[in-house]
Amino acid sequence: MPAPLRIDAQFFALPAVARCTSCAARPVGVCAAIPVHALTRLAATGVAMRIRAGQRFIEERDVAAHFFTLTAGTARLLKMLPNGRQQIISFPGSGDFLGLASQGGYNYAAEAVDEVRLCRFPRDALRRLMAEFPAMEKRLLEVTSYELSMAQEQMLLLGCKSALERIASFLLARARKTATGQRIMLPMGRADIADYIGLRIETVSRSLAHLKSAGTIGFATPSSVVIHDFAVLERLAFCA
Partner DNA sequence: CGCTGTCTTGAGAGTCCTCAACCGTGGTGG
Partner DNA sequence: CCACCACGGTTGAGGACTCTCAAGACAGCG
Give 14-59 as a 3 state SS string: CCHHHHHHCCCCCCCCHHHHCCHHHHHHHHHHCEEEEECCCCEEEC
Strand, coil or helix: 67: strand
Judged by CB under 7 A, the chain residues 70 through 99 that form the site for DNA are: none
| Cα–Cα nearest to 211, from 164, 173, 170, 178 | 164
Please, what is the minimum distance in Å from the beta carbon of residue 190 to DNA?
Answer: 4
Return all residues near 177 (Cβ < 8 A) that are at least 6 apart.
93
Applying CB under 8 A, the site for a copy of itself has a residue count of 42
Residues 57 and 51: beta-carbon distance below 8 Å? yes
The minimum distance between CB 198 and a copy of itself, in angstroms, equals 4
Which listed option, a copy of itself, DNA, none, makes contact with residue 223 (CB within 5 to 8 Å by class)? DNA
- Binding residues for DNA restricted to 138-167, rule: CB under 7 A: 162-164
Q: Does 147 bind a copy of itself (CB under 8 A)?
A: yes
CB distance 77 to 110 below 8 Å: yes
Interface with DNA, residue 228, by CB under 7 A: no
Query: Which residues ranging from 162 to 191 are in contact with DNA (CB under 7 A)?
Result: 162-164, 189-191
Question: In whole angstroms, how close is the CB of 17 to a copy of itself at the nearest point?
Answer: 29
Q: Which amino acid is at 27?
A: P
Q: Which is nearer to a copy of itself, 5 or 64 (CB)?
A: 64
State CA 200 to chain mean position distance: 21
Angle (CA) 147 148 151, round 5°: 85
Does residue number 202 form part of the binding site for DNA (CB under 7 A)?
Answer: yes
Binding site for DNA (CB under 7 A): 162-164, 189-191, 198-206, 208-209, 219, 222-223
Binding site for a copy of itself (CB under 8 A): 79, 81-83, 85-87, 89, 100, 102-103, 107-108, 130, 134, 137-138, 140-142, 144-149, 151-156, 158-161, 195, 197-198, 238-240
